[in-house]
Chains A and B, each alone.
Chain A
Amino acid sequence: MSDELRLPALEVHQSKGRKLYSFAVDGKLLQDFVTVSRVRRGDGNELSGYQRPEALAHIQEIRAYLEAPSPLIPNSIILAFDSRVRFEPAKGKTSLPYVRTGTLVIPLEKNIADPDKPGFVVDGQQRLAAIRDANIHRLPVCVTAFITNDVRQQTEQFILVNSTKPLPKGLIYELLPGTDAHLPSPLHRRKLPALLMERLNLDEDSPLSGRIRTTTNPTGTIKDNSVLKMIENSLSDGVLFHFLRPERAHGADVASMGEVLHHFWAAVARVFHAAWGLPPKKSRLLHGAGIISLGHVMDAISRVRNVPLIPTEAQYVEKLMPLQELTHWTGGSWNFGNGERRKWNNLQNTPGDIELLSKYLCTPYQKQASRSL
Chain B
Amino acid sequence: MKFFLPDSQDLVDPSFDFENEQRAKDRRRQRHDLYAHEVFSQPAFDGFLVSKGMVDGFGALGSRYTLSQRLRLSQIGAPEFFRVNRAPHPLQIMGDCGAFTYVKEQKPPYSVDDVMDFYATCRFDYGVSLDHVILDFLPEADAPGAGPRAVPAAIRRRQELTLEYASEFLHKHTRGRHAFKPLGVAQGWSPQSYATSVKRLQQMGYDYIALGGMVPLKTQDILRCLQAIQAQRAHGTRLHLLGVTRTEHIEEFYRLGVASFDSTSPLRQAFKDAHDNYYHNGLTYTAIRIPQVEGNTSLQQRIASGQISQNQARKLETACLQAMRLFDSGRRSISKVIEVLLEYEDLYAPDAKRNHAKDYERTLRDAPWRRCACDICKHLKHHVIIFRGAERNRRRGFHNIWSFYRHMRDSGTDTHEFTVGQQVAGLKERACRTN
Cα distance A39–B72 in the bound complex, in angstroms: 49
**Residue pair B75, A303 in contact (C-beta under 8 Å):** yes
The residue on A at minimum CB distance from B294 is A56
The residue on B at minimum CB distance from A362 is B71
Cα distance A365–B68 in the bound complex, in angstroms: 15
**Residue pair B75, A369 in contact (C-beta under 8 Å):** yes
Q: Contacting B76 at CB < 8 Å: which of A39, A57, A235, A303?
A: A303
**Residue pair B31, A241 in contact (C-beta under 8 Å):** yes
Q: Contacting A370 at CB < 8 Å: which of B121, B300, B306?
A: B121
**Residue pair A300, B22 in contact (C-beta under 8 Å):** no
**Residue pair B71, A246 in contact (C-beta under 8 Å):** no
**Residue pair A300, B310 in contact (C-beta under 8 Å):** no
Contact partners of B294 in chain A: CB under 8 A: 55-57
Contact partners of A355 in chain B: CB under 8 A: 67
Cα distance A299–B29 in the bound complex, in angstroms: 18
The residue on B at minimum CB distance from A47 is B306
**Residue pair B25, A300 in contact (C-beta under 8 Å):** no
Q: How far is the CB of B165 from chain A (nearest CB, A)?
A: 18
The residue on A at minimum CB distance from B306 is A40
Cα distance A193–B309 in the bound complex, in angstroms: 41
Cα distance A355–B314 in the bound complex, in angstroms: 43
Is the CB of A108 closer than 8 A to any CB of chain B?
no
Is the CB of A38 closer than 8 A to any CB of chain B?
yes
Mark out the residues of chain B between 295 and 331 whose CB falls within 8 Å of any chain A CB in the assembled complex.
300, 303-307, 309-310, 314
Q: How far is the CB of A336 from chain B (nearest CB, A)?
A: 14
**Residue pair A241, B28 in contact (C-beta under 8 Å):** yes
The residue on B at minimum CB distance from A300 is B75
Is the CB of A244 closer than 8 A to any CB of chain B?
yes
Q: How far is the CB of A254 from chain B (nearest CB, A)?
A: 14
Cα distance A41–B28 in the bound complex, in angstroms: 43
Q: How far is the CB of B171 from chain A (nearest CB, A)?
A: 21
Is the CB of A60 closer than 8 A to any CB of chain B?
yes
Cα distance A174–B28 in the bound complex, in angstroms: 23
**Residue pair A296, B121 in contact (C-beta under 8 Å):** no
How would residues 358 to 399 of chain B score, 1 for a CB under 8 Å from any chain A CB and 0 otherwise?
Answer: 000000000000000000000000000000000000000000
Given the interface contacts A39-B306, A40-B305, does A236 sit within 8 Å of B29 by beta carbon?
yes
Most chain A CB inside 10 Å of its own CB: which residue of B21, B68, B304: B68
Contact partners of B22 in chain A: CB under 8 A: 60, 64
Cα distance A60–B295 in the bound complex, in angstroms: 14
Q: Contacting A366 at CB < 8 Å: which of B30, B121, B314?
A: B121
**Residue pair B68, A56 in contact (C-beta under 8 Å):** no
The residue on B at minimum CB distance from A60 is B22
How would residues 55 to 85 of chain B score, 1 for a CB under 8 Å from any chain A CB and 0 otherwise?
Answer: 0000000000011110110111000000000
**Residue pair A300, B28 in contact (C-beta under 8 Å):** no
**Residue pair A370, B120 in contact (C-beta under 8 Å):** yes
**Residue pair A56, B75 in contact (C-beta under 8 Å):** no
Is the CB of B258 closer than 8 A to any CB of chain A?
no
Is the CB of B26 closer than 8 A to any CB of chain A?
yes
Is the CB of B112 closer than 8 A to any CB of chain A?
no
The residue on B at minimum CB distance from A303 is B75
- Interface contact tally, CB-CB below 8 A: 80
Mark out the residues of chain A between 1 and 49 whose CB falls within 8 Å of any chain B CB in the assembled complex.
38-41, 49
Is the CB of A233 closer than 8 A to any CB of chain B?
yes
Contact partners of B49 in chain A: CB under 8 A: none
Cα distance A39–B22 in the bound complex, in angstroms: 30
Interface size on A, as a range, is: 35 or more
Is the CB of B293 closer than 8 A to any CB of chain A?
yes
**Residue pair B68, A188 in contact (C-beta under 8 Å):** no
Cα distance A3–B74 in the bound complex, in angstroms: 71
**Residue pair B310, A53 in contact (C-beta under 8 Å):** yes
Is the CB of A154 closer than 8 A to any CB of chain B?
no
Most chain B CB inside 10 Å of its own CB: which residue of A55, A233, A351: A233
Q: Contacting B31 at CB < 8 Å: which of A234, A236, A365?
A: A236
**Residue pair B68, A296 in contact (C-beta under 8 Å):** yes
Contact partners of B307 in chain A: CB under 8 A: 40
**Residue pair B26, A244 in contact (C-beta under 8 Å):** yes
Given the interface contacts A54-B310, A246-B26, does A238 sit within 8 Å of B72 by beta carbon?
yes
Q: How far is the CB of A363 from chain B (nearest CB, A)?
A: 10
Cα distance A186–B22 in the bound complex, in angstroms: 14
Q: How far is the CB of B32 from chain A (nearest CB, A)?
A: 9
Cα distance A53–B312 in the bound complex, in angstroms: 12
Given the interface contacts A57-B294, A185-B25, does A236 sit within 8 Å of B68 by beta carbon?
yes
Contact partners of A238 in chain B: CB under 8 A: 68, 72
Contact partners of B72 in chain A: CB under 8 A: 237-238, 299, 303
**Residue pair A49, B306 in contact (C-beta under 8 Å):** yes
Q: How far is the CB of B245 from chain A (nearest CB, A)?
A: 32
How would residues 244 to 286 of chain A score, 1 for a CB under 8 Å from any chain B CB and 0 otherwise?
Answer: 1010000100000000000000000000000000000000000
Cα distance A369–B122 in the bound complex, in angstroms: 11
Contact partners of B71 in chain A: CB under 8 A: 237, 296, 299-300, 358-359, 362
**Residue pair B68, A251 in contact (C-beta under 8 Å):** no
**Residue pair B75, A365 in contact (C-beta under 8 Å):** yes
**Residue pair A38, B31 in contact (C-beta under 8 Å):** no
**Residue pair A237, B26 in contact (C-beta under 8 Å):** no
Contact partners of A341 in chain B: CB under 8 A: none
Given the interface contacts A53-B310, A185-B25, does A237 sit within 8 Å of B69 by beta carbon?
yes
Q: How far is the CB of B213 from chain A (nearest CB, A)?
A: 28
A-B contact pairs, 5 of them (CB 8 A): A236-B68, A251-B26, A303-B75, A358-B71, A362-B74
Those 8 A-B pairs whose CB atoms lie nearest each other, nearest first: A40-B306, A237-B68, A56-B294, A233-B68, A237-B72, A53-B310, A53-B303, A251-B26
